[in-house]
Structure 1
Amino acid sequence: MADSAESAAVPIISTSTSTSIANVAASPAEDEAIPVQRKSSSPVTDPGTSPGQAAPINSAHEQSEQEDSDDDSALGAGSILSETTSLADEITQYRYEHNRRYHAYKDGEYWGPNDDKQNNQLDIAHHLYLLTLEGRLHLAPIGDNPQNVLDVGTGTGIWAIDFADQYPSAQVIGFDLSPIQPMWVAPNVRFEINDACDPDWGYKKNSFDFIHVRAMYGSVADWPAFYRQALAHLAPGGWFQQIEMSVVPTSDDGTVTEGSIFDMWGKISLEAGDKFGKDLRIHEQIKGYLDDAGFEEVVEKVYKWPIGPWDEDIHMKQIGLWNQLHWEEGIEGWSLALLTRVLGWSYTEVQAYLGKMRTGIRDRKVHAYHIINVVYGRKPIPS
């Protein structure tokens, strides 16, 4: 990478020719860490003032409630209010551990914090994905008029908000374990609390034109079941897309050596994920799982993300600079719960380890990078 003249944003594996980057922010100055603000390009609109908007998709549970409303009339309003209040309390009774905040709903099912520091990392990652995909929110050929869209593991909701703004025709649902999304959004996007590992996501089957998944590594124990769910919820001809990163840094020039801090990071991360019961290798397994689940026209593209601005190519240098910030902001949240809860490390041991990682991340003599996989496929249309 550092010694080659690769063209900008060229995937390692690609079925199309890359084009110029559009509508992305300039890179930060190399010696400055620029905070990323929570972004919404969608207008803040009062749903009540938009009579022309299509009705949002109802979940299967909501539809059942509407269809069975006569049967449910015996339930008093007080009972419903009590249940709603109880659920709200459960969702927001966060776990605080080692000065970080974690989700409360299904406590312990996911290892990442949901506090401002980690949410900032998620928004930095969103910018990196836009840089990588040349300003595009997706590669799947979904057409110009998608109607029903699902964002699984929506995080801060930034992708769903941007997508809803770009496609006013779409009704976008984003769901996550944590209610960390903005409260005021455009009328064609809404956020829900849900678990991607549930045996039924609760939405109407054969209803979504596009299902989007991103950065769910280490979140799902049964990936084949997850992809069966996705296929079942897609409308015939609908598209699924997933983007995942490798947690194992490597190099092309031998500067990531056996026993180095980057080598240790990869091995320790994979061990922790295996013991947690949720594999961190999903980036390299998506295509096979989609094929097995019954998707068609499955396409995989693989990209490199340098860790630090060491690459000579100007575009890759920009990605590397943002990715350095991404790692520096993310590594504590990526590792703290897994190393302490799963591998039994002390907080002090984790911090010493992270100090070595930060030194490695900033060492420009080490030309580390990791892989990003973008995979999409279509639900077949019955003949």
Structure 2
Amino acid sequence: MQNTTEYLRRHHGGNGDKAAEKTVQSYAKNHDADFRLFWESHCAAHLSDHASVIDLGCGTGLWLNELAQTYPQAKLTGFELAPYMLNRMDSLASNVEIISDDLNNPSTELANHSVDVALANLLIHELHQPVTLFCKLRRWLKPGGVFILCDMVRQPLADYLQHQYADIDLASQTPDYTALVDAFQHFQEHNRYHPEDITALLQQCGFEISAVETFKKGRAVRIAAISV
């Protein structure tokens, strides 16, 4: 778990407080109208005050708190390991529980077939491999339960660098060396999977894919998967 904590700190730029603040500031962008439409389309029928919902890699817990406003009696559980995210969790709703666990190989044992809806928003690219989590998640979800996965996916290096360095002409100006090393490291981490890789893994782990939607000009994907 300590190795994963250190990896996450490096992945988030080496400054935990800054990473937590960025998570708060980017909350609206990562839960925008398109995300909410996708969420409602695939999850609304499963949500109620009797539902069990888990947010995998829940960051500072803002989405769970928002859900709690609509479902104040639902069982809402967040998984988060990074201490700087845990430290930024302010005034969590009374029906929100936070579990600190390494989602590369979760030690938590939720009851089989006890979860209605699960979300992993910008988590999967941070894992060393997602299969262990997918297999455990399928056991946790009720038959017919929904898993919403949102994440960055593979893109050409040229497109990635143009996105990262939109204001710099690489032909005439070389960016800072440290910044370039960081950009190429993040390219490897953010470009692990093509959408078809993720859907194939989910299917191999026992999920049925009900929707796939790319966004951010193909740089990210939303997937709705059903536990069968």
TM-score relative to the length of structure 2:
0.74
2:149 is matched with 242
Q: Does 1:141 align with 2:58?
A: no
CA distance in structure 2 between the partners assigned to 1:142 and 1:122 by the alignment: 25
Q: Classify the secondary structure of the residue corresponding to 1:302.
A: strand
Please say if residues 148 and 209 of structure 1, whose CA atoms lie closer than 8 Å, have aligned partners that are also in contact: yes
Output the aligned Cα RMSD. 3.4
Q: Which position in structure 2 is the counterpart of 1:270?
A: 187
* 2:220 paired residue number: 372
Q: CA deviation at 1:162?
A: 1.0
Q: Aligned in 2, Cα 1:266/1:287: closer, same or farther, shift over 3 Å? A: farther
Q: State the match for 2:102 in structure 1.
A: 195
Distance 1:290 1:164 in 2: 28
Tell me the distance in 1 between the aligned counterparts of 2:35 and 2:127.
29
Structure with the bigger percentage of strand: 2
Task: Classify the secondary structure of the residue corresponding to 1:138.
Answer: helix
Contact 1:213–1:243 at 8 Å: present in 2 too?
A: yes
CA–CA distance in structure 1, aligned partners of residues 106 and 121 of structure 2: 20
Q: Does 1:151 align with 2:151?
A: no
Cα deviation code 1:21-79 (max 9, x no counterpart): xxxxxxxxxxxxxxxxxxxxxxxxxxxxxxxxxxxxxxxxxxxxxxxxxxxxxxxxxxx
- 2:6 alignment partner, one of 93, 102, 108: 108
Once the 2 structures are TM-superposed, how far is the Cα of residue 124 of structure 1 from its aligned partner?
A: 2.9
Provide the rounded CA distance (Å) in 1 between the counterparts of 2:79 and 2:26: 18
Determine the C-alpha separation between the residues in 2 that align with 1:200 and 1:117. 28
Q: Secondary structure at the match of 1:141?
A: helix
TM-score calculated relative to the size of structure 1 = 0.46
Q: Name the CA distance, whole Å, in 2 between partners of 1:241 and 1:114.
A: 29
Q: How far did 1:116 drift?
A: 3.0
Structure with higher RCO (Cα < 8 A, 6+ apart) = 1
The offset of 1:289, in angstroms, is 1.5
Q: Which amino acid aligns with 1:151?
A: D
Choose the corresponding residue for 1:301, options 192, 197, 213.
213
Identity of aligned residues (%): 19
CA shift in 2, pair 1:228/1:188, >3 Å: same
Whether the 8 Å CA contact 2:120–2:149 is kept in 1: the answer is yes
1:234-283 deviations in Å (ceiling 9; x for gaps): 111111011112475729x9x97996789x67644334x4xxxxx74246
Larger Rg: 1
How many residues in Structure 1 have an aligned counterpart in Structure 2? Answer: 205
Structure 2 unmatched runs, 5+: none
Tell me, yes or no, if the aligned pair for 1:210 and 1:239 is still in contact at 8 Å: yes
The residue matched to 1:155 in structure 2 has which SS?
Answer: coil
**Matched position secondary structure for 2:117:** strand
